[in-house]
Amino acid sequence: METLERLNIDIERVANSRLEGVDFDNLKFGHVKSDHMFIAQYRNGQWTNISIKPYDYLQLSPACIGMHYGQMIFEGLKAFRLEDGRIGIFRPEANMRRLQRSAERLAMEPVPADIFMEGLQALLEVDKSWVPHGEEQSLYIRPFQFGDEPNIGVKASETYSFIIFTCPVGKYYDKPVNVFVEDTYIRAARGGVGEAKAAGNYAPTLLPARKIKEKGYDQILWSQRVDDTLYAGEIGTMNFFVQIGDKLITPELDGTILPGVTRDSIIQLAKDEGIEVEERMISVKEIFKAAETGQLKDAFGAGTAAVITYIAGLGYHDRHYDLPPISERKLSTFFKQKLNNIRLGKEADVHNWMTYV
């Protein structure tokens, strides 16, 4: 067994890698797992048992607090194979900070920065052969944390597990998506946990998602009513952007939506280019009026898994509006290409977003 001295990470490698059996030309998102996983445990007031082991099932008590009372959080980020062969991780510190904020919101012990960053680096060094070479491919990284104390009682767990595993992936969406504005069910309310990447935020969205698929839509645009006005929030798997006239608009971070790393990156890139950006409450009525008058030039989703996803059309009750052809989408196409170029080392990383393995 190897030991990485800096964090004293014990490394147990697989006897036989599964890499040769992977069809990298047909990667289904999230289905193929790499050989190893990183694990750290919080016990008796300190993080311990830090190791890299073969990817495998976990042994947990049926009374695990996280499974009963929802102390579960996660992150998603990506590593890329650069043109020169290096491996770069896109903005891991931002994901680390968001995981820590999510932990604090759910009364969990935050994972220290050195354990997150050095554990991630060590895991990717061990599984570096799993980072795909295709331009539309990447290594998706899933850090997650949960309360693992075996205790049936509504309280914060006194012990935690933190794990990172990875998956080689291709595109999340293989085509532009049709999005339906949901106003019956809600994803989050102010004062809730909408801005945390909590596992419990996702299960309640599955039934509404199933219902809109029966209507021919791919994703939900969540909304909330304030003073009888319906405002846009985020899409199920990504943040939401629209271009009305020459302005790029995205819902403000009001505690009900996830502060996306890709969202933040797009806002910064827009400012770099002198593009006017507004982070504010935007009503569904304003968006649909812009569609009716021809001022809705673009709409897209942005997220780690989805990257930049074109929105083909927007629906609400019995109304549906098709957006301009993809060939006419200047802003979303620009952001998509710019982010890809930075991640693959084709353009200068002026904001130092990439961390190299």
Separation CA 333–CA 325 (nearest Å): 12
Q: Does the pLDDT at position 148 exceed 80?
A: yes
| In the block, residue with structure tokens 């950006």 | 277
- Extract the tokens encoding 166: 């990875």
Q: What are phi and psi of 150, to 5 degrees?
A: -85, 80
Tens digits of residue pLDDT in 276-309: 999 999 999 999 999 999 999 999 999 998 889 9
pLDDT at 7: 78
pLDDT band at 171 (very low <50, low <70, confident <90, very high): confident
Given this model, what pLDDT does residue 49 score?
A: 95
User: What three-state secondary structure class fits 111?
Assistant: coil
Q: If you classify domain 177-343 with CATH, what class do you get?
A: alpha beta
Tokens representing residue 142 in the block: 């899933």
Gap between the Cα atoms of 343 and 349, Å rounded: 8
CATH value of 2-169 in 3.30.499.10, 3.40.50.10440, 3.30.470.10, 3.30.70.141: 3.30.470.10
Predicted TM-score (pTM) of the model is 0.95
In this predicted structure, the answer to whether residue 330 has a pLDDT above a threshold of 80 is: yes
Domain ranges of the chain: 2-169, 177-343
Q: How confident is the model at residue 6 (pLDDT cuts 50, 70, 90)?
A: low
Is 239's pLDDT higher than 90?
A: yes
- 131 vs 129: CA distance, rounded Å: 6
Helix (H) or strand (E) segment spanning residue 263:
helix 261-272
- Predicted confidence band of residue 136 (pLDDT cuts 50, 70, 90): confident
Q: Is the pLDDT of residue 5 over 60?
A: no
Q: Assess whether pLDDT exceeds 80 at residue 327.
A: yes
pLDDT tens for each residue of 84-102: 899 999 999 999 999 999 9
Mean pLDDT (the chain, rounded): 95
Q: What pLDDT sits at residue 24? A: 93
> What's the sign of the alpha-carbon dihedral 85, 86, 90, 95?
positive
Q: DSSP letter at 150?
A: B
Rounded distance between C-alpha atoms, residue 240 and residue 263, angstroms:
8
> Do the bridges between strand 87-90 and strand 77-81 make them parallel or antiparallel, or are there none, so unpaired?
antiparallel
Q: How far is CA 30 from the centre of its chain?
A: 13
Residue 14 to residue 119: CA distance in whole angstroms: 18
Residue 96: what residue type?
M
Angle between helices 92-105 and 113-126 (to 10 degrees): 130
